[in-house]
Structure 1
Amino acid sequence: MSHDPQTSTSSAPAAPPKVSLKEARRIAFAAFVGTALEWYDYFLFGTAAALVFNRLFFTDLNPAGATLAAFATFGVGFAARPIGAVVFGWIGDRYGRRPALLTTIVMIGCATGLIGVLPDYLAVGIAAPVMLAVLRLVQGFAVGGEWGGATTIAIEHSPEKMRGRFAALVQIGSPVGTLVSSGAFALVLMMPPETFDAWGWRLPFLLAFPLLGIALYIRLKVEESPVFQELAAAGEQVKVPVVELFRKSGLRLLVAVAAAMLGVGGFYMMTTFVVSYGTNVLEVDRQVMVNATLIAAVLQIGVTIFAGRLAERFGPGRMTVAGGLTTGIAAFPLFWLIDTESPIAIIAAVSIGIALITLSYAVTGALLAELFPPRLRYSGVSLGYNLAGAISGFLPLIATALITVGDGSSWPAVLVLIGICVITVIGGAFGERMRLRDDIVEIDEAAS
């Protein structure tokens, strides 16, 4: 393991801060709840973009154009994420992890809930997609600071030998959020098509308001990171973290982006893109496609826990490489199964694809948190992850466009997936060698 002299500074505390195991678990659970709400909101939008936004908010376009426009709106949220990462990274590294995380979760929940009350194109014309895009931008801006902050505060409350499992607990928010959003859509899709288009699709978005209340209640009980408290006590916060991040840790940031690509981009290729491809190109019943993501999300929970434990033994970088290699090898066979149009084959393909991607995604938080020193961690983790997200958010759009201008076969989408696998393998290999251990937290056995 190498230590970058530019980023491994003397700011590490002389005596490791101590936390009780009970407190560490409570913080990780609070981080998980916020991540679950984040993924609920984001996956909800992605599913709606494939199934309803293309028809109700882009009515004046042909079906292919409407789907592309809906995915473009979906991608706009990802474009806003790096901006949110910079702003909330500054708050988190300068003033504390806790205030940043309280702000992000409120913004995410409110933006999602408001989508549920938007008028459609037939009611207000062009204003409908404009308002949809604005709320998507707010979502993306807030998410830019949510995951990085949740991961940072969970890691900074966990001992070194347990970082894999605590980081994985945060990542379980992804399948749980996906599970709840897929379940909500699966229920409303049981309505008659006219009812679903009239108001049924709005219900999953409106559910974000009560979910926000629960998440906010839990997060208000979260205490500030002991690592940040040490930094604040020593007055070692960085005034403008993003400037120092690019100036002194640019290579680490690049590695973080590469390592995170598959967990974000691969997930959306195997969910958002596959739902759209199956529904609009293969003309498979949309209920089958949503059910496939539902079953895959259940499997993903177990794989996340398993991969987190493996990361404690083999290292998060090596697990990232394993996820990239196995997903890349399986890419063509997975899409061959999807192209059979068999419900069982589609469910199997989506489940296996998500499971393989999760080998990388489960350990992304553990790897990224150890790439940056504490004084730059919130900004580094957030910006690295969300730059990957900004690129990945347009992958469903790119894959859909390639298939549209081609002969309708799935091979262009497979090449997109393999491409991000290669990038993540490189990021994981370099990331394992660049891990830092600047802030080892110890468990207070007496308090536990």
Structure 2
Amino acid sequence: MDSPAQPPGGTKTVSGADASRIAWAAFVGTALEWYDYFLFGTAAALVFNRLFFTELDSTAATLAAFATFGVGFAARPLGALLFGYMGDRFGRRPALLTTIVMIGCATGLIGLLPDFGSIGLAAPVMLTVLRLLQGLAVGGEWGGAVTIAVEHAPIETRGRFAALVQVGSPVGTLVSSGAFALVLMLPGEAFDAWGWRLPFLAAFPLLGIALYIRLKVEESPIFQDLVEQEERSRIPALDVFRQAGGRLLVAVAAAMLGVGGFYMITTFVVSYGTNTLGVDRSVMVNATLVAAALQIVVTVFAGRLAERFGPGRMTVAGSLATAAAAFPLFWLIDTRDPLAIVLAVTAGIALVTIAYAVTGALLTDLFPPHLRYSGVSLGYNLAGALTGFLPLIATAFLAASGNASWSAALILVVIALLSAVGGAYGERLRITDKSIVS
């Protein structure tokens, strides 16, 4: 594996209180990003298949909606390249301000889109374009948020601050699922006409709040060191592939379960339960709400454990546990019993979260500071591009297997085992910055 040179030493210090403030600001912005992004996943399962792809039969419409969902993941590596360059060359802060504006505006505009019945083919085309913009923004958001949080944190407590950024994921899920649960209480006709739009339109005021908070975030002290010592890479992404290509592969593998596993147990399962098993859609959405609440607790706890045992070992533990539980989880869902479904989705998300919670801590330790924003963003978002189409693939496999859930469970097992391998190698390859002390 590649062994990048150790980062240069610096003189800047950061207190625990300042680190907490920066991490909270990163969390708020990231929570909005994931609210916007997860909202699309829920809508793909419940709305877009019916209102934007209405000329297709039900299975084809669901496949088309999930394909549009996956397009956002395909765009994320491009966002990682773009914002990784900005973050490693010009600063973490300007990149993060740009990403939050992009995704907030794209999400709000989805709420204003006419449906297929109003403007025909232009509706799904515009939906896809806005999903691409979401993907570009998220491609630079997560990597930048976790980088700036970690680079402000004392070395010995990086696990908890990286995990705090990860809490943005369950909070985003909780708020987006909660928003959909509320509008699902409307009569069906009102929901289809305007109710589904309200959660998307809420992105505009939420963007104002998040932008106000993020404007108060100072630049990373490690990046300031890089500027002063003239250590910045001229083409960061190219240097990642040349100097740390092996580390990038490890990062991709380690991140796969946290991204792909999550969408298998939320986006795919919501669609599977609603469209295949005939379970009431409110049951499926409420299951994700319960799971998201527990995910917050598991994320914080796993972040603390990562400081003791190492994020790579925690990735291995979460991945192997998920692989072992995959088939039993789908067996529970197949019962169609609401309580069993809530239990399965909650347990599945909790297990995936053990690996997801420490992804930020692990990936930031894989790359030296002058390549960090690009390396972390590329690793995470290449994993997203590879796994973002899993709901689409799982739906196709489901149809080919006569709606047998073992096909979806097998996909979950495969990506869990890949992440276990990534976590094991990642723990061996971690590097430690020497430019921040508590």
Length-normalised TM-score, structure 2: 0.99
Within 5 Å, which residues of 2 pair with 1:195-344? 195-344=190-339
1:363 corresponding residue in structure 2: 358
Instruction: State how far apart, in whole Å, the 2-side matches of 1:419 and 1:185 are.
Output: 31
Indicate yes or no: 2:70 matched with 1:72. no
1:446 corresponding residue in structure 2: none
1:353 corresponding residue in structure 2: 348
Instruction: State how far apart, in whole Å, the 2-side matches of 1:420 and 1:50 are.
Output: 22
Q: 2:143 aligns with which of 141, 148, 151?
A: 148
Instruction: State how far apart, in whole Å, the 1-side matches of 2:403 and 2:27 are.
Output: 39
Gaps of 5+ in 2: none
Indicate yes or no: 2:9 matched with 1:13. yes
**Contact 1:164–1:312 (CA<8 Å) still a contact in 2?**
yes
Q: For residue 438 of structure 1, report the CA deviation from its aligned partner.
A: 2.8
Instruction: State how far apart, in whole Å, the 1-side matches of 2:138 and 2:413 are.
Output: 26
Q: For residue 21 of structure 1, report the CA deviation from its aligned partner.
A: 1.8
Change in CA separation of 1:440 and 1:304 when aligned onto 2, cut-off 3 Å? farther
Q: For residue 439 of structure 1, report the CA deviation from its aligned partner.
A: 3.5
**Contact 1:92–1:379 (CA<8 Å) still a contact in 2?**
yes
2:423 corresponding residue in structure 1: 428
| 2:137 alignment partner, SS class | helix
Q: For residue 416 of structure 1, report the CA deviation from its aligned partner.
A: 0.4
**Contact 2:291–2:350 (CA<8 Å) still a contact in 1?**
yes
Identity percentage of aligned residues: 73
Length-normalised TM-score, structure 1: 0.97
| 1:19 alignment partner, SS class | coil
**Contact 1:374–1:439 (CA<8 Å) still a contact in 2?**
no
- Summarize deviations over 1:1-51 as a string: whole Å, max 9, x none: x9x54x124x41254x20122211111001101111111111100000000
CA RMSD of aligned residues (A): 0.9
| 1:409 alignment partner, SS class | coil
Within 5 Å, which residues of 2 pair with 1:176-195? 176-195=171-190
Gaps of 5+ in 1: 444-448
Give the counterpart letter for 2:178 in structure 1.
G
**Contact 1:36–1:172 (CA<8 Å) still a contact in 2?**
yes
Instruction: State how far apart, in whole Å, the 1-side matches of 2:435 and 2:330 are.
Output: 43
Count of residues in correspondence between the two structures? 438
**Contact 2:258–2:355 (CA<8 Å) still a contact in 1?**
yes
- Summarize deviations over 1:80-135 as a string: whole Å, max 9, x none: 00000001000000000000000000001000000000000010000000000000
Instruction: State how far apart, in whole Å, the 2-side matches of 1:408 and 1:233 are.
Output: 59
**Contact 1:86–1:383 (CA<8 Å) still a contact in 2?**
yes
Give the counterpart letter for 1:108 in structure 2.
I
Give the counterpart letter for 1:318 in structure 2.
R
| 1:442 alignment partner, SS class | coil
Q: 2:377 aligns with which of 374, 379, 382?
A: 382
Within 5 Å, which residues of 2 pair with 1:54-133? 54-133=49-128
Instruction: State how far apart, in whole Å, the 1-side matches of 2:137 and 2:176 are.
Output: 19
Q: For residue 192 of structure 1, report the CA deviation from its aligned partner.
A: 0.4
Structure 1 stretches of at least 4 aligned residues deviating more than 3 Å after TM superposition: none
Indicate yes or no: 2:33 matched with 1:38. yes
